[in-house]
């Protein structure tokens, strides 16, 4: 009885605090409270799958090509220096996934990133900012960009079964499936279906709190489907589940969403924990613990814990955090705390590998998720076409 009263008091304080400091918690608060009551128990070793996704935008707030080059060059230089010091239980280095904006394409930047990824430091996927778009324009844009990434940079896999180039997706400005109330930064109510038709295999946009684009479904891996005339169709969906056939238009893998009471300079105030990493939100051990504790998993496979965090990597104020000591310390903490070989095993994964492992779980696979990194979609070649081969 007393613990119930205590929990209600905590919730009340959190609610008041968040009403004062954050917006739109009404969208997801009930799902969060339900999640607290339904945390799974796991016997034996827990496998932590850690994926760092990046809204990687070299043109952020600049039209100076030299600034763009400096940003990309710094990433290629300093990420190598940091990441090569770390290994997971499989001997893999951290794998940064660069979600590159279609509207910002520059060949020279992708050449450098492809070379970095060819050395095992990460993979490249698709990001897009658009507004007032049409279905035809969207499909043409996606088709042209994924073909360029695949054929010119070797950066996306080709699926023999579907005869498509396949890609993971993050929506610019969080506005997936026209999810802003004002309709800005998208324009497509049927975007989930269009993504699926153009080869998208998973969306990794969420969480987006405190934005209004945040869904009521949180801390989940699920399928969503487009309904004609309705926007924000991913607001809810069907959980991906062991030995249950896939359903819907598109899989979504969400990152952690909850409350953080230990933010530097804001302790004892309920802050939103949404997996965003930057200078003002450093990846402290207390945050890493919250990410793991969110316990995102395929239903029926709770021993495989999916941790997806995000950043905007080319913004200068945050680069020291993302490429320097704070990032280095985060990986050391992961390797010391979640890789003891008995209670936990750590696996650094790309977005593609995380999807493959989710699909393996859905298919009933078990054991070490490392065995399923290439379960459905093979690793891209990252072979870059020479000038003699044409554009």
Tell me whether residue 391 is in a domain: no
163: left (phi over 0), alpha (psi -120 to 50) or beta: left
DSSP string, 75-138: HHHHHHHHHTT---TTSPPP-EEEEEEGGG--HHHHHHHHHHHHTTSEEEEEEE--SS--HHHH
Tell me whether residue 65 is in a domain: yes
The whole-number pLDDT of residue 270 equals: 84
What are the respective helix, strand and coil percentages of the chain, to the nearest 5?
A: 40, 20, 45
Helices (H) and strands (E) in the chain, counts: 11, 14
The whole-number pLDDT of residue 13 equals: 55
The whole-number pLDDT of residue 1 equals: 57
Tell me whether residue 383 is in a domain: no
The whole-number pLDDT of residue 191 equals: 97
* pLDDT averaged per 10 residues, the chain (length 391): 61 55 84 92 96 98 98 98 98 98 98 98 98 98 98 97 97 98 95 98 98 98 94 98 96 97 78 96 97 98 98 98 98 98 98 98 98 98 63 38
Tell me whether residue 223 is in a domain: yes
The whole-number pLDDT of residue 21 equals: 47
The whole-number pLDDT of residue 12 equals: 61
The whole-number pLDDT of residue 262 equals: 86
Instruction: Determine the Cα–Cα distance for residues 310 and 279; give it in Å rounded to an integer.
Output: 13
Does the CA dihedral 110-116-122-123 come out positive or negative? positive
For residue 234, the domain's CATH number is 3.20.20.370
Peptide bond just before 287 cis, omega within 30 deg: no
The whole-number pLDDT of residue 265 equals: 72
Q: Calculate helix-pair angle for 65-83, 316-323, nearest 10 degrees.
A: 10
Contact indicator for 23, 210 with CB cutoff of 8 Å:
yes
Tell me whether residue 387 is in a domain: no
The whole-number pLDDT of residue 103 equals: 98
Tell me whether residue 385 is in a domain: no
Domain residue limits at 237: 2-378
The whole-number pLDDT of residue 121 equals: 98
Tell me whether residue 389 is in a domain: no
Q: Which residues pair with 48 in a beta bridge?
A: 305, 346
Q: Calculate helix-pair angle for 325-337, 316-323, nearest 10 degrees.
A: 40
The whole-number pLDDT of residue 312 equals: 98
Give the pairing type, strands 122-128 and 167-171: parallel
Tell me whether residue 334 is in a domain: yes
Which helix (H) or strand (E) covers residue 14, if one does?
helix 2-21
Which helix (H) or strand (E) covers residue 323, if one does?
helix 316-323
How many structural domains compose the chain? 1
The whole-number pLDDT of residue 263 equals: 81
């Amino acid at each position: 009885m007393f613990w119930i009263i205590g929990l209600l008091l905590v919730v009340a304080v959190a609610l008041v605090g968040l009403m004062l400091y954050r917006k739109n918690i009404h969208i997801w608060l009930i799902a969060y409270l339900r999640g607290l009551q339904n945390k799974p128990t796991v016997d034996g070793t827990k496998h932590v799958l850690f994926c760092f996704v990046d809204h990687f935008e070299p043109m952020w707030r600049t039209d100076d090509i030299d600034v763009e080059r400096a940003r990309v060059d710094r990433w290629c230089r300093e990420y190598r220096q940091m990441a090569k010091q770390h290994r997971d239980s499989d001997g893999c280095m951290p794998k940064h996934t660069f979600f590159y904006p279609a509207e910002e394409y520059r060949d020279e930047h992708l050449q450098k990133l492809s070379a970095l990824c060819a050395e095992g430091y990460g993979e490249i996927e698709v990001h897009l900012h658009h507004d007032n778009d049409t279905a035809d324009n969207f499909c043409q844009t996606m088709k042209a960009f994924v073909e360029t990434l695949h054929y010119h940079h070797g950066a996306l896999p080709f699926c023999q079964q579907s005869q498509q180039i396949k890609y993971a997706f993050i929506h610019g400005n969080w506005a997936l499936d026209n999810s802003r109330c004002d309709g800005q930064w998208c324009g497509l109510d049927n975007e989930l279906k269009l993504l699926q038709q153009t080869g998208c295999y998973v969306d990794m946009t969420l969480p987006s709190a405190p934005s209004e684009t945040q869904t009521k479904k949180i801390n989940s891996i699920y399928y969503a489907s487009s309904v004609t005339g309705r926007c924000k169709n991913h607001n809810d969906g069907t959980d991906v589940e062991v030995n249950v056939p896939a359903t819907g238009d598109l899989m979504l893998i969400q990152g952690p969403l909850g409350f953080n009471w230990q933010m530097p300079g804001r302790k004892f105030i309920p802050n939103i924990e949404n997996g965003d990493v930057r200078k003002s939100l450093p990846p402290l051990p207390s945050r890493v613990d919250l990410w793991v504790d969110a316990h995102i998993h395929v239903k029926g496979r709770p021993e495989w814990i999916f941790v997806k965090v995000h950043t905007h990597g080319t913004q200068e104020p945050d680069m020291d955090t993302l490429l320097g000591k704070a990032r280095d310390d985060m990986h050391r903490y992961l390797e010391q705390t979640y890789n003891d070989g008995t209670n936990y095993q750590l696996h650094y994964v790309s977005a593609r590998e995380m999807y493959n492992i989710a699909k393996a779980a859905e298919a009933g696979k078990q054991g070490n998720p490392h065995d399923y990194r290439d379960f459905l979609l093979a690793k891209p070649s990252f072979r870059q076409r020479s000038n003699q081969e044409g554009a």
